[in-house]
Amino acid sequence: DAGVIQSPRHEVTEMGQEVTLRCKPISGHNSLFWYRQTMMRGLELLIYFNNNVPIDDSGMPEDRFSAKMPNASFSTLKIQPSEPRDSAVYFCASSFTNRKNTEAFFGQGTRLTVV
Amino acid sequence: AQSVTQLGSHVSVSEGALVLLRCNYSSSVPPYLFWYVQYPNQGLQLLLKYTSAATLVKGINGFEAEFKKSETSFHLTKPSAHMSDAAEYFCAVSPGSSNTGKLIFGQGTTLQVKP
């Protein structure tokens, strides 16, 4: 398996523009997670899907952020409008929830810079 | 609420020396605990996980961790450091009473290995 695939790897955009980050989870996994990594706040969970349904979006910073999972093989994280403070590395992870043996596999991340 | 605390944001060891990275957890239920490694500009890779089986958990690359309930600790060790071990290490807990793949991370510890 190719692992969790994220695109783009790098994104530079101007403040106010819409940004869309994409994620393809590992085939067969039923849970998907979006994390954000910054120097100040470390790794934070933004949103968690199970069977394509958002289960916990309490980490989404504000209404400018939205995430969708239209099917089991694709998810997007959208920021509209983007702001400089959104600059961070965004990771997507997926897992097959199987109680004790569940483990999350991470993508390579998207480094977002908002100027 | 469950959480993890990593003691020491930076650890420096000589090649061949013992590696000890500290992690303490807070949990009102038996925790699921993980150690991940992140190499520069890469995603996170699972080193090992504790899921209430053996208290001494062996992982990849010669790392192991011991779950100590009395000390609420899950420290990561490796007998002999290699240059290739230089990376950032994250301790994480799966919140709640089941292992869903959702993770709460510590702030991370950067391991430097000196020749």
**Amino acid making up residue B100:** T
What's the pLDDT at A60? Answer: 94
Report chain B's terminal Cα–Cα distance, integer Å.
41
Looking at the predicted structure, is the pLDDT value of residue B99 above 80?
Answer: no
> What is the CB-side half-sphere exposure of residue B61 using CA atoms within 13 A?
18
- The yes-or-no verdict on residue A52 having pLDDT over 70 is yes
CA of A17 vs chain B CAs: smallest distance (Å): 25
Min Cα–Cα distance to chain A from B20, Å: 21
Interface contact A104-B107, CB threshold 8 A: no
Cβ atoms within 10 A of the Cβ of B78, count?
21
Cβ distance of B108 and A33 shorter than 8 Å:
no
CB contact under 8 A, A45 and B102: yes
Residue pair B92/B31 in contact by the 8 Å Cβ criterion:
no
If DSSP states are collapsed to H, E and C, what string results for A62-84?
CCCEEEEEEECCEEEEEECCCCH
Contacts of B101 in chain A (CB under 8 A): 31, 33, 93-97, 102-104
Residues B25-38, mean pLDDT to the nearest whole number = 89
Percent of chain A whose predicted confidence (pLDDT) is above 90: 90
- The average pLDDT across A4-32 equals 96
The C-alpha atoms of residue B66 and residue B77 are separated, in whole angstroms, by 9
Q: Do B51 and A101 touch (CB under 8 A)?
A: yes
Nearest to B40 by CA among A82, A70, A58, A111: A111
Predicted confidence (pLDDT) per residue in A89-109, tens digit: 999 999 988 666 678 999 999
Give residue ranges of A with CB < 8 Å to any B CB.
Answer: 4, 31, 33, 42-43, 45, 48, 50, 56, 91, 93-97, 99-109
Q: What is the mean pLDDT of residues A42-47?
A: 94
Chain A closest CA to B42's CA: distance in Å? 5
Dihedral sign of CA atoms A97, A38, B2, B4 in order: positive
pLDDT band at B97 (very low <50, low <70, confident <90, very high): low
